[in-house]
Amino acid sequence: MLRTVPSPHSKMKTLQLRLGTRASLLAQWQANWVTAELRQRGFEVELVPITTSGDQQQTASGPIAGTGIFTKEIQRELLDERIDLAVHSLKDLPTETVPGLALAAVPQRAPVADALVCDRFDCLELLPPGAVVGTGSLRRRAQLLNYRPDLEMRDIRGNVDTRLRKLHEGHYEAIILAQAGLERLALAKHITQVLPLSLMLPAVGQGALGIEARAHDTATREALAFLDHMPTHAAVTAERALLAALHGGCMAPIAAWGRMDGEQLILSGRVLDPAGARKLEAMQSGTVDQAESLGRSVANVLLEQGAAALIAECRG
């Protein structure tokens, strides 16, 4: 099949793209959004469903563990040329580069914050001592315990709708979810409180999408170029460089927030111990073309403060 990129003044054959996606509602929203954007540009898109090990763990018992559990199978399909692109929640995409693949585009970011969802209380401060809060994230758990050590943190798993159902059934007084995910699924009405970033820094890449393609697939990468948002791409590049330099992986209590302030790229980083008793923080700024070095520099400051020891506690 001839795969060419059409231009406004060309009658070349439309590029046909196979987009791999997980079956969760949020993954479907992400895939459908990218599909709609591509179709508006004249591309033909076929959605290809893929089940990942992370999806299988969602329905099992015990904590979800592993790096790349929501991405490895999709990346294998890309490398085997059974699909042409994949849309990831960027916070799920490991920082290690997969030979043969490239991050072709990072669209404009949604809100980065986390949200408290609660049926009985109006804000985090009003939760009574001992209140049970559900989260599957060690990052969220550690930051909440740092602020409210009197809360009882319990693991929760499942997709957004499953977690909301468990809350409404009374298994938890409150749960913590990403603001972006709730808004994308038209569930913002469930948000009780958007947690301030001073209290809860986001996960690396939270609220951002990463569109991956084969590194040498020039036609697909050119087709995706219009979706790339430079300020977002720079911000998440800095965040991911910080995470890579800390060697923490997605399971460690590491948080980061990159954002533009005029011409300056600002990066805040935070590392905690699993119990939330100790918190290390650093912030620096630089230019967009210094995104990777900025991430490494903030990571080095955190390492000088003792971050490696806190991260090691997560590995037992």
Cα-based distances in Å from 37 to 5, 29, 61, 227, 231: 15, 12, 37, 8, 19
Same domain, 91 and 223: yes
Same-domain pairing of 97 and 121: no
Q: Is residue 80 part of a domain?
A: yes
5/93 same-domain check: yes
Same domain, 20 and 99: yes
Residues 96 and 215 in one domain: yes
**Separation CA 18–CA 86 (nearest Å):** 9
Q: How confident is the model at residue 286 (pLDDT cuts 50, 70, 90)?
A: very high
Co-location of 224 and 238 in the same domain: no
Which residues neighbour 237 within 8 Å (Cβ) at sequence distance 6 or greater?
A: 258, 291, 292, 295
Residue 201 lies in a domain: no
Determine, yes or no, domain membership for 200: no
76 and 141: one domain?
Answer: no
Beta carbons of 311 and 254 less than 8 angstroms apart: yes
The residue to which tokens 């692109």 are assigned: 85
Reply yes or no on whether the pLDDT at 268 is more than 60: yes
pLDDT digits (tens, 9 = 90+) for 238-266: 999 999 999 876 678 999 999 999 999 99
Tell me: do 90 and 219 sit in the same domain. Answer: yes
Our count of domains for the chain comes to: 3
Q: How confident is the model at residue 285 (pLDDT cuts 50, 70, 90)?
A: very high
The answer to whether residues 136 and 276 belong to one domain is no
Tell me whether residue 217 is one of the annotated catalytic residues. Answer: no
Residues 5 and 66 in one domain: yes
Q: At 63, is the pLDDT very low, low, confident or very high (cuts 50, 70, 90)?
A: very low
| Residue 203 belongs to a domain | no
Cβ atoms 189, 177 nearer than 8 A:
no
Instruction: State both tokens at 49.
Output: 């469903």
pLDDT tens digits, 199-234? 999 999 999 999 999 999 999 999 999 999 999 999
Model pLDDT, residue 168: 96
Q: How many CB atoms lie within 10 A of CB 24?
A: 21
Q: Residues 90, 212: one domain?
A: yes
Catalytic residue (choose from 92, 114, 217, 273): 92
pLDDT in tens, 18-34: 999 988 899 999 999 99
- Both 166 and 243 in one domain: the answer is no
* Domain span including residue 179: 114-194
* Nearest Cα to Cα of residue 16 among 45, 47, 52: 45
Q: List, for residues 112-137, the tens digit of each pLDDT value.
A: 999 999 999 999 999 999 999 999 99
